[in-house]
Amino acid sequence: MMKGFEDRFQPVEGLGRIRQIGGSVDGSDLKIGICTSRYNRPLTEGLVRSTVEALLERAVPMNCITVVWVPGAYEIPSAIEVMAESGDYDAFIALAAIIWGETAHAELIAGEVTRGLGEISRRHRVPVIDGVVTAYTEGQARARCLSGRSSRGWYAAAAAVEMGTLVRKITAMQPG
């Protein structure tokens, strides 16, 4: 598991009657959209595998997981925007591997992708989890993209399930 990440919500004890709301690790009634880049595909395949493994472990039904492949990281927000407009998904996960080079190109791409994902999340009121790996070297990227619990994809899946269930809880509490 990633450093600093807790696998499930635990309320803070001793706060009396204050209502504390957190998401669940049970994704059995969620529909999740994953959008991933074909650029650096050997790395992004590892991200997709670990993401799907974590979603299945959290009881998200296989037929409720959609993986959309786009040419590069820059195209991810456009695809997720179209998916979000359908209203069919409870959460989205963006996956890519951006490796810094000798120019500012990677920095510009990473910034635009992050900005776009945040805008989509706020506009559509749906969680959009940023599972985009940014690294200075291919070795650093590989270490973050490999399958298993140490992968950025694993964390992204856990966050998507927790946020998808949390948004449902909060929405159900709102009047009208």
CATH of the domain at 62: 3.40.50.960
3 within some domain = no
- Is 105 part of the annotated catalytic residue set? yes
* Residue whose C-alpha is closest to residue 121's, from 159, 150, 158: 159
Q: What residues have CB less than 8 Å from 9, skipping those under 6 apart?
A: 22, 23, 24, 162
Residues 6+ apart with CB under 8 A from 68: 33, 34, 35, 36, 79, 83
Residue 131's nearest CA partner among 18, 8, 46 is 46
Name which of 129, 49, 37 is nearest 91 in CA terms. Answer: 129
Question: Does residue 19 form part of some domain?
Answer: no
For 165, the token pair is: 């269930």
Q: Is residue 6 part of a domain?
A: no
- Contact status, residue 81 vs residue 128, Cβ threshold 8 Å: no
**Is residue 58 a part of any domain in this protein?**
yes
Catalytic residue among 105, 122, 123, 169: 105
Residue 13 resides in a domain: no
Question: How far apart, in whole angstroms, are the C-alpha atoms of residue 78 and residue 119?
Answer: 11
Round to whole Å and give the CA distance between 144 and 133.
7
Token pair 């909060």 is found at 170
Domain count, the chain: 1
Residue 81's domain comprises 32-173
What is the full per-residue pLDDT of the chain (176 aa) written as tens digits?
555 566 677 778 888 888 888 899 999 999 999 999 999 999 999 999 999 999 999 999 999 999 999 999 999 999 999 999 999 999 999 999 999 988 888 899 999 999 999 999 999 999 999 999 999 999 999 999 987 788 999 999 999 999 999 999 999 987 76
- Whether 118 maps to a domain, the answer reads yes
44 assigned to some structural domain:
yes
Look at residue 105 and tell me if it is in a domain: yes
> How far is residue 74 from each of residues 32, 57, 128, measured CA to CA in Å?
20, 29, 15
